[in-house]
Structure 1
Amino acid sequence: MTEQGYVRAVRGGMAMVETIQTEACSQCSSRGACQMMGGERMRVVPAINEAGAKEGQRVIIAARRSTVMGAGFLVYMVPVMALIGGAVVGKAYGPDYGFEPQSAAVLLGVGLLAACWLAISRFSKRMAGNKNLAVRVIRIVKDTQDGGADAVDQCSAGV
């Protein structure tokens, strides 16, 4: 999955790339959720600067589709499954422990949801340093004489 953006800053081997949501979001079934939850179309993404881009240059950044899809599943589906699973188990086994079925369903569902969010947060922090999962600057887009961005300077590093 690729996006185009502008390098706003370079720090060591990392580039801070400002992007506008386009290709990746157009194919996402949850594309409207970002806007509803206060997200903006403009994003600044830290990316490994494999192309050697400098501040102000237009670049192409890329992330592995499997990484994006896996992260989406982890963030969206796993918490929902924890909530539903906890509610089902709480309703079934709550009366055995002196709880009303609906109270047990709510307590266990919300409890597992909270535990799931905590686990995902810790997992996310642990995976943040994994360079195989990182976004990368793969190309520098060169502007042509007429102001367009037709010519692309290819980076030798693949994604």
Structure 2
Amino acid sequence: MNIMEERGVIVECKGSVAVIRAQRTSSCDSCSSKKTCSSGSSSDMLIEAANGIGARAGDHVVFTVGGGSVLKAGVVLYLVPVLFFIGGIVLGQLAGKSVFIGLNPDLVSGVFGVVFLVIAFFGIKLYGKILEKSGAYRPQILRVV
């Protein structure tokens, strides 16, 4: 996994989590996950990081960002819904021809696709809450500089 060290300033502390304002750096350009990182067109990013060292607002810190984590999150957010949608369409075609006889198979297919897409989004939301509690994808503050 590609781990990057970045620098930033803590703008807010919320318990064991700190909000860091960091600037895009050259390591962002070489990161394999740069296309999945959306921080807008601004050169500043706001990042929530685990504050295990007790840094306070205004502190300049060094934190780690796992590049692979961003890539995995991108796969979950983009690929899973597409796969569920396509799976729903295929199952809808099969069900439209065998179970829902008399209905247009394309209509059944479309409904199945949308239902499966909604299920995927609810599943991703639940998965995100589980990951948020575990802190598995959250950057870590290493030290105050």
Distance in 1 of aligned mates of 2:38 and 2:70: 15
Q: How far has the Cα of 1:29 moved from its partner?
A: 6.1
**Equivalent position of 2:12 in the other structure:** 9
- Quick one: structure 1 residues 88 and 21, their matched pair in 2 at CA, closer, same or farther if it must change by over 3 Å? farther
TM-score between both structures, scaled by the size of structure 2: 0.76
1:75 to 69, 74, 77: 77
Within 5 A, what are the aligned runs for 1:1-159? Answer: 1-2=3-4, 3-22=6-25, 23-24=27-28, 26-28=31-33, 30-31=35-36, 34=38, 39=40, 41=42, 42-96=44-98, 97-98=100-101, 99-141=103-145
Distance in 2 of aligned mates of 1:126 and 1:81: 21
More displaced 10-residue stretch of structure 1: 115-124 or 1-10 = 1-10
Q: Could you say what secondary structure the match of 1:106 adopts?
A: helix
Question: Which structure's relative contact order is higher, taking Cα pairs within 8 Å and 6+ residues apart?
Answer: 2
| 2:81 alignment partner AA | P
- Quick one: structure 1 residues 40 and 84, their matched pair in 2 at CA, closer, same or farther if it must change by over 3 Å? same
| 2:115 alignment partner AA | G
| 1:45 alignment partner AA | I
Structure 1 moving runs of 4+ over 4 Å: none
Q: Could you say what secondary structure the match of 1:139 adopts?
A: strand
- Quick one: structure 1 residues 29 and 16, their matched pair in 2 at CA, closer, same or farther if it must change by over 3 Å? closer
Q: How far has the Cα of 1:40 moved from its partner?
A: 5.1
Q: Could you say what secondary structure the match of 1:137 adopts?
A: strand
CA-atom RMSD, angstroms? Answer: 2.6
- Give aligned pairs, total: 137
Q: Percent of aligned pairs with the same residue?
A: 24
Q: Could you say what secondary structure the match of 1:47 adopts?
A: strand
Q: Which ranges of structure 1 fall in alignment gaps of 5 or more residues?
A: 142-159
